[in-house]
Amino acid sequence: MKNIALFGGTFDPIHNGHLKVAEVVLSTSNFDEFWFVPSAVPPHKDDNMFTFEERIQMIRLATNNDNRINIWEKDFRKNSKSFTILLIQDLKLQFINYNFSFIIGADNVLKLKTWKAYKELIELVDFIVVNRKTIDVNLWSSLDYYSKLSFINMPEYDISSSELRDMIRLKKDLSSFIPKRVVEFINKKRRS
């Protein structure tokens, strides 16, 4: 049985913080592979700067040297919202001998109750919570799904994709936050 860590998001754009999550999860956990799962139409965001195809291309550019990292490119709901429950159902049908865990940030632990069909979702998949060392995980111990959560401490990363989109609009230097090949892709897109 293969153990796969799934990391969903818009990755609009992918940045060094996302790559650090992959590095830490692969180095501290028992996963065979780490899959980036870009959402074509995320349910909680409406302001994508880059198309689904461009975001996949940027993830490829950022991760091309690690054969343990893959991209799940098959978001079949390009014209409707991408819900995690539908993704997990699809994957479990296609990959019967795979065990999937889904990565979320600490900021999503309480929001998980608002996710579509969350009770079914927590039965289908375990969650890896990327946590800042400053947050006490015992705060969540009363949640009915606490036993489905495992925690990995991450170093602080003080930039978000939304801040990076602002920097792109303002034509600021991105090289401290985004891999070089992705910066080149973005700069090329800026010029066109």
Least confident window among 17-21, 80-84, 141-145, 178-182: 80-84
Name the pTM for this structure.
0.91
CA distance 78 to 128: 26
Which among 79, 71, 92 has a CA at the least distance from the CA of 9? 71
pLDDT tens sequence across 5-23: 999 988 999 999 999 999 9
Identity of the highest mean pLDDT range in 32-36, 78-82, 163-167: 32-36
CA distance 92 to 84: 12
CA distance 33 to 58: 19
pLDDT tens sequence across 110-131: 999 999 999 999 999 999 999 8
Level-2 CATH architecture, domain 2-191? 3-Layer(aba) Sandwich (3.40)
CA distance 134 to 48: 30
Q: What radius of gyration do the chain's Cα atoms show?
A: 17
Higher pLDDT, 99 or 42: 99
Residue 162 pLDDT > 90, yes or no? no
In the prediction, which pLDDT does 45 show? 61
What are the residue boundaries of the structural domains of the chain, listed by start? 2-191
Burial class of residue 151, CB neighbours in 10 A (0-12, 13-18, 19+): middle
